[in-house]
Chain A
Amino acid sequence: MKQCEMLVIGGGPAGLSAAIEAAEAGVQVVIIDANEKAGGQLFKQIHKFFGSSMHRAGTRGIDIGEELLQKCKDLNVEIWLNSLVIGVYDNNVVAVDVKKSLTEHELVKVQTKKIVIATGASENAVKFPGWTLPGVMGAGAAQTMANFHRVLPGKKVLMIGSGNVGLIVSYQLMQAGAEIVGIVEAQPNINGYAVHASKLTREGIPIYTGYTIIEAKGKERVNQAVIGKVNPDWSIVEGSEITLDVDTITIGAGLKPLIGMAYMGGCKLINDRFLGGWAPCHNYNMETTTKNIYVAGDASGVEEANTAIEEGKLCGVSIAESLGYLDSTKAEELKKAIWNRLAGLREGAHGTERTGAKQKQLEEYTKAMEG
């Protein structure tokens, strides 16, 4: 059986940062990534990031991705691509389905000392008549097509959801040459940052707050979208329907942590809407209620790339300490600095609820371990 000291499931910002931090201290790390290139969402995040200079603020996600991959290379972190973790078993054994070609797969078992779950999140669906028509897709899927594969998903796009994903992806599709017909938000207010919304409104994009999608019309693929105003009881205001000519409907209705591996590993989960649903409880070291299994990034509650990077670093430091590569004084100092930066990222208009949810997650861990 293949042996390693630390196995990271998912090579996105959290996983790569965990690997770098641990490898810098001397830990032998393997990253398992399901895609053809590691980096997770970073390679479709062509926008400049928020944060402080410590977080590489003002740098585009794609460039942060390249930097992290280069660091992994310099530190001899092993990255398995096209490889899917299909199971986490007792005694830290992980099963990996390695894709050798289109038809050939190999099942490889890895014996590790530590596991980091950095699987990220998946998109929420919104179901409405016509939602299975070609041309209706997740906002993240559209972003992957446009920014990673360089294929424009459509020319006339309606975005459902005004969270930061909906707003940023709309902007990027517009940069790629699509027309954004409008953004639909069922809530009375725009969900994401106003600065992201303003980038669209100064291009004349209407944001329909208080509206929802009623139906997607079309035969071969979507060619019209019907939207309408919502009453407080979520019924449609009579006569408020608007029919829009579109060839694509993208859905940015939030994300939920990918917790399959945490569930399989027996980690205690909590449900909080500010985490995006179910997420594993963890302690100050990002270790879950299952010893030797750690969690970082969106898999521990949906946030964004900067917090994912910081949580990944926490895992890396904690694991290096636990395996004896870092003395506890040094580790404590590093962890404290990371927690301070995380607190900074969780402040402000959109941070209060998340801070509360993350606090609860820590408390639930303590309760579970005491109980």
Chain B
Amino acid sequence: MNLQQTGILTKADLVEAVRYPSEERMKKGPVAVCECMQNIPCNPCETSCPFQAIHVGENISNLPKLDEQKCTGCTTCIAACSGLALFVVDKSYSDEVGTVSFPYEYQYSFQIGDKVKAANRAGKCVCEGTIKKIVNTKKSDRTTVVTLEIPIDFVDEVRSIYRQR
């Protein structure tokens, strides 16, 4: 089964396409992951980046290319991405925990410090996490950017908060 049949992206897909930051870079601090695998005519990731770390180019259907050395993991691109396909991961915290930042456009009542269930790309609850940061600025335009602290082994997998249904 692949992305086009299931809609579920995997880390392996991203690694294979050379679209995942290096382990070495993730250990140095927060860095963006562009989980965008199709040529979509779109470039706000490039124009929003304050450090020119994402390159799309003149043909706006090119896939975004991340310069992981220039990227500071500032998370600006997360809310800018119309496809909600940008994330920031950080494995520099400790050997046990890391963080993942993702866009969140649902109503919520959680606060910083709350424990929540974390969901992977397939919507499965894989671990528990702690809300570290909630950013909702005028610039992010109603797309909340949430940073979740989770066990380090799940940093490459967790991409949202598991919502009770």
What is the CA–CA distance of A58 and B140 in the complex, to the nearest angstrom? 10
Nearest B-chain residue to A54, judged by Cβ: B60
Cβ-defined contact, B7 with A200, below 8 A:
yes
A48, A49, A199, A349 — which one has the most chain B CB atoms within 10 A of its CB? A48
Let me know if B39 and A349 touch, CB within 8 A.
yes
Tell me the interface secondary structure of chain A in the complex.
loop
Q: Which of A52, A198, A199, A203 contacts B60 (CB 8 A)?
A: A52
Q: Report which of B9, B41, B141 forms a contact with A351, defined as CB distance below 8 A.
A: B41
Distance (whole angstroms) from the CB of A158 to the closest CB of chain B? 15
Residues in chain B near residue A57, CB distance under 8 A: 42-44, 47, 82
Q: In the assembled complex, how far is the CB of residue A242 from the closest CB belonging to chain B, in whole angstroms? A: 16
| Per-residue interface assignment for chain A, residues 81 to 104, with 1 indicating a CB less than 8 Å from any chain B CB and 0 otherwise | 000000000000000000000000
Known A-B contacts A195-B36, A195-B38, A347-B60; the reply to A175 vs B106 at CB < 8 A is: yes
**Are B7 and A207 closer than 8 Å at their CB atoms?**
yes
Set of chain B residues within 8 Å of A47, measured between Cβ atoms: 82
A290 to B11 alpha-carbon distance, docked (Å):
54
Number of B interface residues in the complex (CB < 8 A): 44
Give A202 to B3 CA distance when docked, in angstroms: 12
Given A48-B82, A203-B119; A209-B38 close (CB under 8 Å): no
> Is B123 in contact with A174, judged by CB distance below 8 angstroms?
no
Q: B119 to A190, Cβ gap below 8 A? A: no
Query: Closest approach, in angstroms, between the C-beta of B157 and any C-beta of chain A?
Result: 10
Answer yes or no: B105 CB below 8 A from chain A CBs: yes
Instruction: Tell which of B3, B41, B163 touches A194, judged by Cβ atoms closer than 8 Å.
Output: B3
Cβ-based interface call for B61 (8 A)? yes
Residues of A within 8 A of B42 (CB): 50-52, 57
Tell whether B91 is near chain A: CB-to-CB under 8 Å: no
- Residue in contact with B9 in the complex, picked from A179, A194, A210, CB distance below 8 Å: A194
B141 near A48 with CB under 8 A, answer: yes
Q: Is B40 an interface residue (CB 8 A)?
A: yes
Chain A residues with CB under 8 Å of B143's CB are 48
Min Cβ gap A234→B in Å is 18
Shortest Cβ gap from A346 to chain B (Å): 8
Is A26 part of the contact surface with B, judged by Cβ < 8 Å? no
Known: A189-B4, A347-B59. A58 touches B41 (CB 8 A): no
Residue of A nearest to B60 (CB): A52
Note all chain B residues with C-beta closer than 8 A to A48. Answer: 44, 82, 141, 143
CB <8 Å contact, B59 and A344: yes
Determine if A203 and B163 form an interchain contact, defined as CB atoms under 8 angstroms apart: yes
Nearest CB in chain A to that of B59: its residue: A347
Q: Are A58 and B7 in contact (CB under 8 A)?
A: no
Closest A residue, CB atoms, query B102: A202
Known contacts A204-B123, A347-B61; A209/B41 CB under 8 A = no
Say if the beta carbon of B74 comes within 8 Å of chain A. no
Residues of A293-323 whose CB lies within 8 A of B: none
A177 to B84, CA, bound (A): 19
Tell yes or no: A205 within 8 A of B by CB.
yes
Contact between B39 and A348, CB atoms less than 8 A apart: yes
Query: Given A52-B60, A58-B80, A209-B6, is A195 in contact with B40 using a C-beta cutoff of 8 Å?
Result: yes
How close is A276's CB to chain B, nearest CB, in angstroms?
Answer: 19
Shortest distance between the CB of B47 and any CB in chain A (Å): 5
The B-contacting residues of A in range 134-188, CB under 8 angstroms, are 174-175, 177, 179, 188
Contact B83 A203 (CB under 8 A): no
**Among A189, A193, A197, A203, contact of B40 (Cβ-Cβ < 8 Å):** A193
Q: Tell me the nearest residue of chain B to A174, going by C-beta.
A: B106
- Do B121 and A198 have beta carbons less than 8 Å apart? yes
B115 at the interface (CB under 8 A from A): no
Q: Which B36-57 residues have C-beta < 8 A from chain A?
A: 36-44, 47-48
By beta carbon, the residue of chain B nearest A49 is B82
Known: A179-B165, A201-B123, A204-B165. 4 other contacts (CB 8 A): A190-B7, A193-B40, A204-B122, A347-B39
Seen from chain B, the residues whose Cβ lies within 8 Å of a Cβ on chain A are 3-9, 35-44, 47-48, 59-61, 80, 82-85, 105-107, 119-124, 141-143, 159-160, 162-163, 165
For the complex of A and B, the 8 pairs showing the least CB-CB separation, nearest first, are A204-B123, A197-B7, A348-B61, A195-B83, A348-B39, A58-B44, A50-B42, A48-B82
A-to-B contact residues, CB < 8 Å: 47-53, 57-60, 174-175, 177, 179, 188-190, 193-205, 207, 209-210, 344-351
